[in-house]
Amino acid sequence: MTTEITFENVGAPNVSYYTPIQDPPPGTPLSLVKHKTTQSNGEITKEFPPLFTPLKLRSIILPNRIAVSPMCTYSAQDGMLSDWHLVHLGQFALRGVGLIFVEATAVTAQGRISPSDSGLWKDEQIAPLKRIVDFVHSQGVKIGIQLAHAGRKASTGAPFIISKGQLCPEEYGGWPDDVVGPSPIPWNENHASPKELTVEQIHEIEEAYVTAAKRAEKAGFDIVELHFAHGYLAHEFFSPISNKRTDQYGGSFENRVRYGLETAKKVREVWPKDKPLFARISATDWVDNGEGNSWEIKQSVRLSELLKDLGVDLIDVSSGGNTPEQKIHPMAGYQVSFSEEIKKNANINTGTVGLIRDPKLANNIVSSGHADLIFLARGLLADGNWAIKAAEELGVLIRTPKQYHYAIERFLIKDAE
Protein backbone atom coordinates (compact mmCIF):
# COMPACT_ATOMS: atom_id res chain seq x y z
CA MET A 1 0.00 0.00 0.00
CA THR A 2 1.43 3.35 -1.01
CA THR A 3 1.14 6.26 1.38
CA GLU A 4 0.20 9.44 -0.39
CA ILE A 5 2.74 12.22 0.08
CA THR A 6 1.61 15.83 0.13
CA PHE A 7 3.89 18.79 -0.39
CA GLU A 8 1.26 21.33 0.57
CA ASN A 9 2.34 23.97 3.07
CA VAL A 10 -0.52 25.16 5.26
CA GLY A 11 0.03 28.66 6.56
CA ALA A 12 -0.99 30.06 9.92
CA PRO A 13 -4.09 32.30 9.84
CA ASN A 14 -4.30 36.07 10.35
CA VAL A 15 -0.84 36.93 9.09
CA SER A 16 -0.08 38.44 5.70
CA TYR A 17 2.96 36.27 5.07
CA TYR A 18 3.59 32.55 5.06
CA THR A 19 4.47 30.80 8.30
CA PRO A 20 3.48 27.18 8.95
CA ILE A 21 0.99 26.29 11.65
CA GLN A 22 2.89 25.38 14.82
CA ASP A 23 1.01 22.50 16.36
CA PRO A 24 1.87 21.82 19.12
CA PRO A 25 3.19 25.30 19.93
CA PRO A 26 6.80 26.00 20.89
CA GLY A 27 7.45 25.21 24.54
CA THR A 28 5.27 22.11 24.58
CA PRO A 29 7.10 19.19 26.27
CA LEU A 30 7.48 16.31 23.81
CA SER A 31 9.55 13.70 25.56
CA LEU A 32 11.97 13.08 28.38
CA VAL A 33 15.57 12.96 27.32
CA LYS A 34 16.77 12.03 30.78
CA HIS A 35 13.94 10.10 32.38
CA LYS A 36 12.66 11.41 35.66
CA THR A 37 10.73 8.61 37.34
CA THR A 38 8.61 8.17 40.43
CA GLN A 39 7.52 4.86 41.89
CA SER A 40 3.98 4.24 43.15
CA ASN A 41 2.44 0.85 43.96
CA GLY A 42 5.42 -0.81 42.37
CA GLU A 43 4.92 0.98 39.04
CA ILE A 44 7.44 3.42 37.59
CA THR A 45 5.93 6.52 36.02
CA LYS A 46 7.81 8.94 33.80
CA GLU A 47 7.05 12.55 34.65
CA PHE A 48 7.82 15.90 33.10
CA PRO A 49 9.41 18.42 35.48
CA PRO A 50 6.71 20.75 36.87
CA LEU A 51 8.21 23.76 35.05
CA PHE A 52 7.27 22.01 31.81
CA THR A 53 3.71 21.04 32.60
CA PRO A 54 0.64 22.88 31.26
CA LEU A 55 -1.34 25.46 33.20
CA LYS A 56 -5.04 26.03 32.50
CA LEU A 57 -6.53 29.43 33.30
CA ARG A 58 -10.16 29.68 32.21
CA SER A 59 -10.09 28.73 28.50
CA ILE A 60 -6.38 29.44 28.09
CA ILE A 61 -3.90 26.56 28.31
CA LEU A 62 -0.22 27.42 28.61
CA PRO A 63 2.19 24.65 27.51
CA ASN A 64 4.61 25.39 30.36
CA ARG A 65 5.11 27.68 33.35
CA ILE A 66 7.60 30.17 31.83
CA ALA A 67 6.30 33.68 31.18
CA VAL A 68 7.95 36.74 29.66
CA SER A 69 7.49 39.47 32.23
CA PRO A 70 6.27 42.91 31.11
CA MET A 71 9.43 44.91 30.41
CA CYS A 72 9.48 48.62 29.63
CA THR A 73 11.73 49.36 26.66
CA TYR A 74 10.91 53.08 26.27
CA SER A 75 10.77 52.83 22.48
CA ALA A 76 7.22 53.84 21.53
CA GLN A 77 6.11 57.05 19.84
CA ASP A 78 2.81 58.57 20.99
CA GLY A 79 2.09 55.21 22.58
CA MET A 80 2.47 53.38 19.26
CA LEU A 81 4.53 50.21 19.14
CA SER A 82 6.92 49.64 16.25
CA ASP A 83 9.04 47.08 14.43
CA TRP A 84 11.34 47.14 17.46
CA HIS A 85 8.55 45.72 19.63
CA LEU A 86 7.56 43.16 16.98
CA VAL A 87 11.11 41.78 16.92
CA HIS A 88 11.70 42.17 20.67
CA LEU A 89 8.52 40.32 21.65
CA GLY A 90 8.29 38.10 18.58
CA GLN A 91 11.64 36.46 19.30
CA PHE A 92 10.24 34.91 22.47
CA ALA A 93 7.43 33.24 20.51
CA LEU A 94 10.14 31.18 18.78
CA ARG A 95 12.03 30.24 21.92
CA GLY A 96 9.79 27.99 24.00
CA VAL A 97 8.17 30.29 26.56
CA GLY A 98 4.61 29.57 27.58
CA LEU A 99 3.33 33.15 27.73
CA ILE A 100 4.48 36.60 26.58
CA PHE A 101 3.49 39.95 28.08
CA VAL A 102 3.65 43.31 26.36
CA GLU A 103 5.25 45.97 28.52
CA ALA A 104 3.35 48.35 30.81
CA THR A 105 0.83 50.05 28.55
CA ALA A 106 -0.66 53.33 29.72
CA VAL A 107 -4.43 53.77 29.78
CA THR A 108 -4.06 57.56 29.50
CA ALA A 109 -1.37 59.73 27.96
CA GLN A 110 -0.65 61.28 31.37
CA GLY A 111 -0.39 57.79 32.87
CA ARG A 112 2.81 56.93 31.03
CA ILE A 113 6.06 56.54 32.92
CA SER A 114 7.88 58.32 30.10
CA PRO A 115 6.96 59.94 26.77
CA SER A 116 8.25 56.77 25.07
CA ASP A 117 5.89 54.31 26.76
CA SER A 118 3.40 51.96 25.16
CA GLY A 119 -0.18 53.22 25.20
CA LEU A 120 -3.73 52.09 24.61
CA TRP A 121 -5.72 55.26 25.23
CA LYS A 122 -6.90 55.68 21.63
CA ASP A 123 -8.08 53.42 18.81
CA GLU A 124 -5.09 54.17 16.57
CA GLN A 125 -2.89 52.26 19.01
CA ILE A 126 -4.77 49.00 18.43
CA ALA A 127 -3.30 48.15 15.01
CA PRO A 128 0.40 48.13 16.00
CA LEU A 129 -0.44 45.91 18.96
CA LYS A 130 -2.59 43.60 16.84
CA ARG A 131 0.31 43.12 14.44
CA ILE A 132 2.39 41.76 17.34
CA VAL A 133 -0.49 39.67 18.68
CA ASP A 134 -1.13 38.14 15.25
CA PHE A 135 2.52 37.16 14.85
CA VAL A 136 2.71 35.59 18.32
CA HIS A 137 -0.55 33.73 17.67
CA SER A 138 0.75 32.51 14.30
CA GLN A 139 3.39 30.65 16.32
CA GLY A 140 0.74 29.11 18.58
CA VAL A 141 1.84 31.13 21.62
CA LYS A 142 -0.33 33.09 24.07
CA ILE A 143 0.17 36.80 24.70
CA GLY A 144 -1.06 39.26 27.33
CA ILE A 145 -0.85 42.99 27.93
CA GLN A 146 -0.20 44.86 31.16
CA LEU A 147 -2.44 47.94 31.56
CA ALA A 148 -0.99 50.67 33.73
CA HIS A 149 -1.11 54.20 35.11
CA ALA A 150 2.13 55.59 36.54
CA GLY A 151 0.52 58.04 38.98
CA ARG A 152 3.10 60.23 40.71
CA LYS A 153 5.97 58.44 38.93
CA ALA A 154 4.84 59.70 35.51
CA SER A 155 6.67 62.08 33.13
CA THR A 156 10.17 60.75 33.70
CA GLY A 157 12.83 60.15 31.08
CA ALA A 158 13.94 56.86 29.57
CA PRO A 159 16.64 55.42 31.88
CA PHE A 160 19.12 54.94 29.05
CA ILE A 161 18.89 58.67 28.18
CA ILE A 162 18.98 60.30 31.63
CA SER A 163 19.16 59.10 35.21
CA LYS A 164 16.33 56.78 36.13
CA GLY A 165 13.45 58.73 37.60
CA GLN A 166 14.62 62.12 36.39
CA LEU A 167 11.67 64.41 35.61
CA CYS A 168 11.16 64.95 31.88
CA PRO A 169 10.37 68.59 30.96
CA GLU A 170 7.76 69.69 28.44
CA GLU A 171 10.29 70.50 25.71
CA TYR A 172 11.22 66.81 25.62
CA GLY A 173 7.64 65.55 25.63
CA GLY A 174 7.01 65.47 29.37
CA TRP A 175 4.03 66.77 31.35
CA PRO A 176 5.56 67.75 34.72
CA ASP A 177 2.61 70.01 35.60
CA ASP A 178 -0.01 67.35 34.84
CA VAL A 179 1.16 64.48 37.04
CA VAL A 180 -1.41 63.08 39.47
CA GLY A 181 -1.54 60.83 42.51
CA PRO A 182 -3.74 59.96 45.48
CA SER A 183 -1.99 62.67 47.53
CA PRO A 184 0.27 65.62 46.63
CA ILE A 185 3.45 63.82 47.70
CA PRO A 186 6.32 63.44 45.21
CA TRP A 187 8.20 60.14 45.04
CA ASN A 188 11.44 62.05 45.56
CA GLU A 189 12.96 65.44 44.73
CA ASN A 190 13.64 64.41 41.11
CA HIS A 191 9.99 63.57 40.41
CA ALA A 192 7.01 65.82 39.78
CA SER A 193 4.90 67.19 42.59
CA PRO A 194 1.62 65.41 41.84
CA LYS A 195 -1.81 66.95 41.98
CA GLU A 196 -4.25 65.14 44.26
CA LEU A 197 -6.87 63.33 42.24
CA THR A 198 -10.50 64.28 42.75
CA VAL A 199 -13.05 61.51 43.12
CA GLU A 200 -14.34 62.34 39.65
CA GLN A 201 -10.84 62.01 38.20
CA ILE A 202 -10.38 58.65 39.96
CA HIS A 203 -13.52 57.36 38.28
CA GLU A 204 -12.30 58.69 34.91
CA ILE A 205 -9.06 56.69 35.24
CA GLU A 206 -11.05 53.59 36.18
CA GLU A 207 -13.09 54.04 33.02
CA ALA A 208 -9.87 54.51 31.03
CA TYR A 209 -8.87 51.00 32.14
CA VAL A 210 -12.23 49.71 30.93
CA THR A 211 -11.83 51.34 27.52
CA ALA A 212 -8.24 50.09 27.23
CA ALA A 213 -9.35 46.55 28.08
CA LYS A 214 -11.95 46.71 25.29
CA ARG A 215 -9.22 47.81 22.88
CA ALA A 216 -7.02 44.96 24.11
CA GLU A 217 -9.81 42.56 23.20
CA LYS A 218 -10.00 44.07 19.71
CA ALA A 219 -6.25 43.58 19.37
CA GLY A 220 -6.74 39.89 20.19
CA PHE A 221 -4.91 39.57 23.50
CA ASP A 222 -5.42 36.40 25.52
CA ILE A 223 -4.83 37.94 28.96
CA VAL A 224 -5.00 41.38 30.57
CA GLU A 225 -2.86 42.16 33.60
CA LEU A 226 -3.61 45.15 35.83
CA HIS A 227 -0.42 46.86 36.98
CA PHE A 228 -1.01 47.49 40.68
CA ALA A 229 2.66 47.37 41.70
CA HIS A 230 6.02 49.19 41.76
CA GLY A 231 4.84 52.48 43.20
CA TYR A 232 2.51 53.30 40.33
CA LEU A 233 -0.97 54.67 40.82
CA ALA A 234 -2.80 51.71 42.39
CA HIS A 235 0.12 50.92 44.69
CA GLU A 236 0.21 54.59 45.68
CA PHE A 237 -3.39 54.27 46.82
CA PHE A 238 -2.69 51.01 48.67
CA SER A 239 0.23 52.28 50.76
CA PRO A 240 -0.09 54.68 53.73
CA ILE A 241 3.29 56.07 52.70
CA SER A 242 1.85 57.70 49.58
CA ASN A 243 -1.86 57.88 50.46
CA LYS A 244 -2.78 60.53 53.04
CA ARG A 245 -6.37 61.05 51.87
CA THR A 246 -9.21 61.47 54.33
CA ASP A 247 -12.09 60.59 51.99
CA GLN A 248 -13.41 57.18 50.88
CA TYR A 249 -10.12 56.46 49.09
CA GLY A 250 -7.82 56.94 52.08
CA GLY A 251 -7.29 55.97 55.69
CA SER A 252 -8.45 52.40 56.34
CA PHE A 253 -7.32 49.36 54.39
CA GLU A 254 -10.77 49.09 52.82
CA ASN A 255 -10.60 52.67 51.60
CA ARG A 256 -7.03 52.48 50.32
CA VAL A 257 -7.73 49.41 48.17
CA ARG A 258 -11.04 50.80 46.89
CA TYR A 259 -9.60 52.27 43.67
CA GLY A 260 -7.85 49.00 42.76
CA LEU A 261 -10.90 46.89 43.48
CA GLU A 262 -13.21 49.20 41.55
CA THR A 263 -10.84 49.08 38.60
CA ALA A 264 -10.57 45.28 38.70
CA LYS A 265 -14.35 44.89 38.97
CA LYS A 266 -15.02 47.17 36.02
CA VAL A 267 -12.39 45.52 33.82
CA ARG A 268 -13.58 42.02 34.70
CA GLU A 269 -17.11 42.99 33.66
CA VAL A 270 -15.99 43.91 30.13
CA TRP A 271 -13.11 41.47 29.66
CA PRO A 272 -14.36 38.20 28.09
CA LYS A 273 -15.39 35.65 30.70
CA ASP A 274 -13.35 32.92 29.04
CA LYS A 275 -10.13 34.95 29.21
CA PRO A 276 -7.98 35.28 32.35
CA LEU A 277 -7.39 38.51 34.25
CA PHE A 278 -4.12 38.96 36.18
CA ALA A 279 -3.03 41.61 38.69
CA ARG A 280 0.58 42.46 39.48
CA ILE A 281 1.07 43.72 43.02
CA SER A 282 3.99 44.73 45.20
CA ALA A 283 3.74 42.41 48.19
CA THR A 284 5.60 44.83 50.46
CA ASP A 285 7.06 48.34 50.48
CA TRP A 286 10.22 46.98 52.15
CA VAL A 287 9.94 49.69 54.80
CA ASP A 288 10.09 48.90 58.51
CA ASN A 289 8.39 51.93 60.07
CA GLY A 290 5.90 50.18 62.31
CA GLU A 291 2.95 47.92 61.56
CA GLY A 292 0.26 49.59 59.51
CA ASN A 293 2.44 52.48 58.38
CA SER A 294 3.41 50.94 55.05
CA TRP A 295 2.15 48.28 52.65
CA GLU A 296 2.93 44.78 53.95
CA ILE A 297 2.49 41.14 52.99
CA LYS A 298 -0.52 40.67 55.30
CA GLN A 299 -2.36 43.41 53.45
CA SER A 300 -1.33 41.87 50.12
CA VAL A 301 -2.92 38.58 51.15
CA ARG A 302 -6.17 40.38 52.04
CA LEU A 303 -6.11 42.31 48.77
CA SER A 304 -5.50 39.10 46.81
CA GLU A 305 -8.52 37.45 48.43
CA LEU A 306 -10.68 40.41 47.40
CA LEU A 307 -9.30 40.42 43.87
CA LYS A 308 -10.01 36.71 43.56
CA ASP A 309 -13.62 37.32 44.60
CA LEU A 310 -13.88 39.83 41.73
CA GLY A 311 -12.68 37.31 39.15
CA VAL A 312 -8.93 37.88 39.06
CA ASP A 313 -7.28 34.57 38.14
CA LEU A 314 -3.64 35.07 39.08
CA ILE A 315 -1.61 37.42 41.28
CA ASP A 316 1.73 38.33 39.72
CA VAL A 317 3.78 38.92 42.89
CA SER A 318 6.55 41.49 42.88
CA SER A 319 7.57 44.00 45.56
CA GLY A 320 8.84 47.49 46.29
CA GLY A 321 8.98 50.59 44.12
CA ASN A 322 6.85 52.96 46.18
CA THR A 323 9.50 54.82 48.14
CA PRO A 324 13.22 55.57 47.93
CA GLU A 325 13.37 54.56 51.61
CA GLN A 326 12.88 50.88 50.73
CA LYS A 327 15.48 48.44 51.99
CA ILE A 328 15.78 45.59 49.50
CA HIS A 329 18.58 43.04 49.36
CA PRO A 330 17.93 41.22 46.08
CA MET A 331 19.07 37.64 45.65
CA ALA A 332 17.91 34.69 43.60
CA GLY A 333 14.24 34.05 44.31
CA TYR A 334 14.02 36.75 46.98
CA GLN A 335 10.30 37.35 46.32
CA VAL A 336 9.20 33.71 46.20
CA SER A 337 8.14 33.65 49.86
CA PHE A 338 5.59 36.39 49.14
CA SER A 339 4.12 34.40 46.27
CA GLU A 340 3.97 31.32 48.48
CA GLU A 341 2.16 33.15 51.28
CA ILE A 342 -0.39 34.69 48.93
CA LYS A 343 -1.01 31.41 47.10
CA LYS A 344 -1.47 29.52 50.36
CA ASN A 345 -3.56 32.02 52.30
CA ALA A 346 -5.57 33.65 49.51
CA ASN A 347 -6.02 30.35 47.65
CA ILE A 348 -5.26 31.87 44.25
CA ASN A 349 -2.84 31.17 41.43
CA THR A 350 0.36 33.17 41.70
CA GLY A 351 3.36 34.08 39.62
CA THR A 352 6.77 35.00 40.96
CA VAL A 353 9.54 37.15 39.55
CA GLY A 354 12.99 38.40 40.53
CA LEU A 355 16.48 37.13 39.70
CA ILE A 356 15.31 33.63 38.86
CA ARG A 357 18.00 32.48 36.44
CA ASP A 358 18.65 28.89 37.50
CA PRO A 359 16.26 26.40 35.80
CA LYS A 360 16.46 24.07 38.79
CA LEU A 361 15.38 26.88 41.11
CA ALA A 362 12.49 27.75 38.78
CA ASN A 363 11.43 24.10 38.66
CA ASN A 364 11.65 23.75 42.45
CA ILE A 365 9.48 26.84 42.95
CA VAL A 366 6.70 25.27 40.89
CA SER A 367 7.17 21.75 42.27
CA SER A 368 7.01 23.09 45.85
CA GLY A 369 3.73 24.86 45.12
CA HIS A 370 5.17 28.30 45.83
CA ALA A 371 4.04 29.72 42.47
CA ASP A 372 2.22 28.61 39.34
CA LEU A 373 4.13 30.77 36.85
CA ILE A 374 7.75 31.91 36.68
CA PHE A 375 8.08 35.40 35.19
CA LEU A 376 11.46 36.18 33.63
CA ALA A 377 12.73 39.56 32.44
CA ARG A 378 16.47 40.24 32.55
CA GLY A 379 17.18 36.53 32.35
CA LEU A 380 15.48 36.41 28.96
CA LEU A 381 17.13 39.63 27.80
CA ALA A 382 20.50 38.07 28.58
CA ASP A 383 19.58 34.77 26.95
CA GLY A 384 16.52 34.53 24.71
CA ASN A 385 16.99 30.75 24.60
CA TRP A 386 16.54 30.38 28.35
CA ALA A 387 13.49 28.13 28.05
CA ILE A 388 15.16 25.80 25.54
CA LYS A 389 18.28 25.54 27.69
CA ALA A 390 16.19 25.07 30.85
CA ALA A 391 14.36 22.19 29.20
CA GLU A 392 17.65 20.62 28.18
CA GLU A 393 19.06 20.96 31.70
CA LEU A 394 15.93 19.41 33.20
CA GLY A 395 15.98 16.55 30.72
CA VAL A 396 13.04 17.57 28.54
CA LEU A 397 12.73 17.87 24.79
CA ILE A 398 10.32 20.72 24.04
CA ARG A 399 8.76 21.70 20.77
CA THR A 400 10.51 24.43 18.82
CA PRO A 401 9.29 26.04 15.57
CA LYS A 402 9.11 23.68 12.61
CA GLN A 403 11.70 25.80 10.84
CA TYR A 404 14.19 25.06 13.66
CA HIS A 405 13.34 21.35 13.95
CA TYR A 406 16.51 19.79 12.61
CA ALA A 407 18.81 22.43 14.09
CA ILE A 408 17.57 22.12 17.67
CA GLU A 409 15.42 19.05 18.36
CA ARG A 410 17.51 16.47 16.50
CA PHE A 411 20.67 18.04 17.90
CA LEU A 412 19.41 17.75 21.47
CA ILE A 413 18.30 14.15 21.02
CA LYS A 414 21.67 13.19 19.53
CA ASP A 415 23.53 15.06 22.26
CA ALA A 416 21.64 13.14 24.93
CA GLU A 417 22.29 9.72 23.47
Peptide bond into 24 cis (omega under 30): yes
| Residues facing 89 on adjacent strands | none
Tell which residue, 124, 109, 96, 315, has the closest CA to residue 226.
315
| Residues facing 99 on adjacent strands | 67, 142
232 is a catalytic site residue? yes
Overall size of the chain counted in residues: 417
Separation CA 62–CA 99 (nearest Å): 7
Q: Which of 74, 232, 249, 259 is catalytic?
A: 232
Collect all residues with Cβ–Cβ distance below 8 Å to 25 and sequence separation of at least 6: 63, 139, 140, 141, 399
Tell which residue, 224, 221, 216, has the closest CA to residue 125.
216
| Residues facing 226 on adjacent strands | 147, 279
Collect all residues with Cβ–Cβ distance below 8 Å to 26 and sequence separation of at least 6: 63, 93, 94, 95, 96, 97, 139, 140, 141, 398, 399, 400, 401
Collect all residues with Cβ–Cβ distance below 8 Å to 44 and sequence separation of at least 6: 37, 38
**Type of residue found at 342:** I
> Catalytic site residues?
232
